[in-house]
């Protein structure tokens, strides 16, 4: 019951934030990827940085249970999947989460995106064994690896001598610094209004 | 008009942190597999089934990993995604909606490729197919790999993000030259 309540509250907040930062608006995505407006990039970098700082300082002071961390395995398919996803994202303007949010906000094209997504996930369900046999899913760089060594978990570390929480906070600070350093309009001037037709 | 990046970034960071602190990191794309399983199981009997020990499984090895979730969709991960849709819909409605023209298609699409609806719908379908196939191959999407992954200092998150932007930027620069 608690889990269900948490799913509703956190999920709902996540959807509302994605809508308000413009992540589910393809115009904002295309303006970002063509360097016309980097507001969303600054938002995402700051979001990752703030989350990293809170997660790792939370671990230092005992507020965050390291058991809640979930590190995904590194393998070649992560890179190939990323390359492919980047193409599909730029083409359509939607990610899996933002496509769903966009449909909920009333975008008709996002409904077709979701249908395509269901078909694409289905195609992967049928071809997973092939990718596995081809070795594309075999772990690289230690598999479930993190930058530093995280106490209390046995994740392999890229830099074994560096404490994971300190590495995490420094990483977070770096993301925040990049978020502040990036210009809003790298191509100069730009439009005064952030998003068309809203 | 999007939220100022400082407030937006703080809000986004707090949501990711809260999710990890109270439950687990945010993720979305696995639920497309669960939804597929629910649809397939409704159309064809026995796509998922229970072993003698009572465990849910499937003859498809990949779907078997999500069989339990397909059998009982009232779980955290699936409801999280449904709630995300509700939250986004409510938020859009509260700020007055996105307007009839945007509901049809995005302004930048129209500026570059005209107002033909089916062309946009076809490309959106193709994009969805590519993105979700890719997200399952990579075992995560923008939420799970890029945001949850990099904020936990996961090496896989950085590999994924490098791949995404290496194709996303040139693709957008080639396809969407005209501003709205």
B135-180 pLDDT tens trace: 999 999 999 999 999 999 999 999 999 999 999 999 999 999 999 8
Residues B110 and B81 in one domain: no
Please tell me the distance in Å from A130's CA to the nearest CA on chain B.
Answer: 11
Residues in chain A where the model's pLDDT stays below 50? 192-193, 197-198
Residues B88 and B168 in one domain: no
Ranges of chain B with pLDDT below 50:
none
What single DSSP character describes residue A25? Answer: -
- Residue B42, judged by CB atoms within 10 A of its CB (0-12, 13-18, 19+), counts as exposed
- DSSP per-residue letters across B2-56: PPPHHHHHHHHHHHHHHHHHHT-----THHHHHHHHHHHHHHSTTSEEE-TTS-E
Q: Domain coordinates of chain A in residue numbers?
A: 2-181
B115: CB partners within 8 A, 6+ apart: B104, B105
Residue A148 backbone phi and psi in degrees, to 5: -105, 180
How crowded is residue A193: how many other Cβ atoms within 10 Å of its Cβ? Answer: 9
* Residue B66: predicted pLDDT: 95
Q: Are A89 and B131 in contact (CB under 8 A)?
A: yes
Residues of B in contact with A124 (CB under 8 A): 33, 62, 132-133, 136-137
> Which of B79, B97, B115 finishes a domain?
B97
Please tell me whether residues B107 and B167 are part of one structural domain. Answer: yes
Q: What is the DSSP letter of A66?
A: G
Is the Cα dihedral A23, A24, A30, A33 positive or negative? Answer: positive
Q: Are residues B122 and B48 in the same domain?
A: no
Residues of A in contact with B16 (CB under 8 A): 47-48, 51
- Tell me the chain B residues in contact with residue A44 when contact means C-beta distances shorter than 8 Å: 9, 12, 147
Q: Are B86 and B111 within one domain? A: no
C-alpha angle with apex A16: B90 to A95, nearest 5 degrees? Answer: 110
Q: Which helix (H) or strand (E) holds B62?
A: helix B61-64
Query: B48-50 and B56-58: which strand pairing?
Result: antiparallel
- Minimum CA–CA partner of A5 in chain B: B76
Which one of B151, B170, B175 makes the best mutation probe of the A interface by having the most chain A beta carbons within 10 Å? Answer: B151
Q: How far apart are CA A102 and CA A107, in angstroms?
A: 6
The answer to whether residues B8 and B89 belong to one domain is yes
Among B97, B117, B145, residue at a domain's last position: B97
Interface subset of B 46-85, CB within 8 angstroms of A = 60-63, 74-77, 79-85
Same domain for B74 and B139, yes or no, is: no
Q: Residue B20's closest chain A neighbor by CA?
A: A68
Domain match, B90 and B7 both: yes
A154 within 8 A of B65, measured Cβ to Cβ: no
State the residue range of the domain holding B66.
1-97
Give me the number of domains chain B comprises.
2
- Out of B92, B120, B130, closest to residue A87 by CB: B130
Q: Which of A40, A63, A164 lies closest to B2 in CB terms?
A: A40
| pLDDT 10s digits, A66-95 | 999 999 999 999 999 999 999 999 999 999
**Does B20 share its domain with B81?**
yes
Q: Measured between CA atoms, how close is A108 to chain B, in angstroms?
A: 6
Specify whether B44 is located in the same domain as B58. yes
User: Among residues B80, B97, B114, which one ends one of the domains?
Assistant: B97
């Amino acid at each position: 019951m608690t889990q269900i309540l948490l799913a509703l509250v956190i999920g709902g907040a996540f959807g509302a934030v994605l809508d308000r930062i413009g992540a589910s608006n393809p115009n904002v995505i295309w303006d970002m990827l063509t360097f016309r407006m980097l507001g969303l990039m600054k938002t995402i970098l700051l979001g990752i940085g703030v989350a990293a700082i809170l997660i790792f300082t939370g671990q230092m002071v005992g507020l965050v249970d390291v058991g809640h961390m979930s590190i995904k395995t590194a393998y070649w398919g992560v890179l190939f999947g990323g390359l492919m996803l980047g193409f599909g994202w730029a083409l359509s303007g939607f990610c899996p989460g933002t496509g769903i949010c966009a449909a909920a906000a009333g975008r008709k094209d996002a409904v077709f995106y979701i249908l395509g997504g269901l078909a694409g996930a289905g195609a992967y369900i049928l071809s997973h064994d092939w990718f596995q046999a081809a070795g594309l899913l075999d772990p690289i760089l230690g598999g479930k690896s993190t930058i530093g060594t995280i106490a209390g978990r046995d994740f392999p570390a890229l830099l074994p001598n560096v404490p994971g929480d300190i590495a995490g906070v420094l990483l977070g600070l770096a993301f925040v610094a990049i978020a502040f350093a990036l210009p809003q309009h790298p191509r100069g001037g730009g439009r005064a209004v952030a998003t068309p037709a809203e | 008009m999007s939220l100022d990046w400082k407030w937006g970034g703080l809000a986004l960071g707090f949501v990711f942190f809260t999710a990890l602190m109270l439950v687990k990191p945010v993720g979305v794309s696995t639920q497309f597999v669960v939804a597929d399983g629910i649809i397939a199981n409704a159309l064809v009997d026995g796509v998922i089934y229970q072993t003698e020990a009572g465990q849910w499984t499937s003859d498809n090895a990949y779907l078997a990993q999500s069989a339990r979730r397909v059998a009982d969709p009232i779980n955290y991960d699936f409801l999280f995604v449904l709630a995300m849709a509700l939250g986004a819909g409510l938020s859009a409605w509260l700020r007055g909606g996105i307007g009839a023209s945007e509901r049809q298609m995005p302004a930048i699409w129209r500026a570059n490729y005209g107002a033909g609806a089916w062309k946009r719908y076809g490309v959106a379908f193709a994009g969805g197919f590519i993105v979700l196939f890719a997200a399952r191959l990579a075992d995560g999407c923008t939420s799970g790999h890029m945001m949850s992954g990099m904020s936990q200092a996961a090496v896989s998150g950085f590999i994924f993000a490098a791949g995404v932007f290496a194709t996303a930027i040139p693709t957008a620069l080639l396809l969407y030259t005209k501003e709205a």
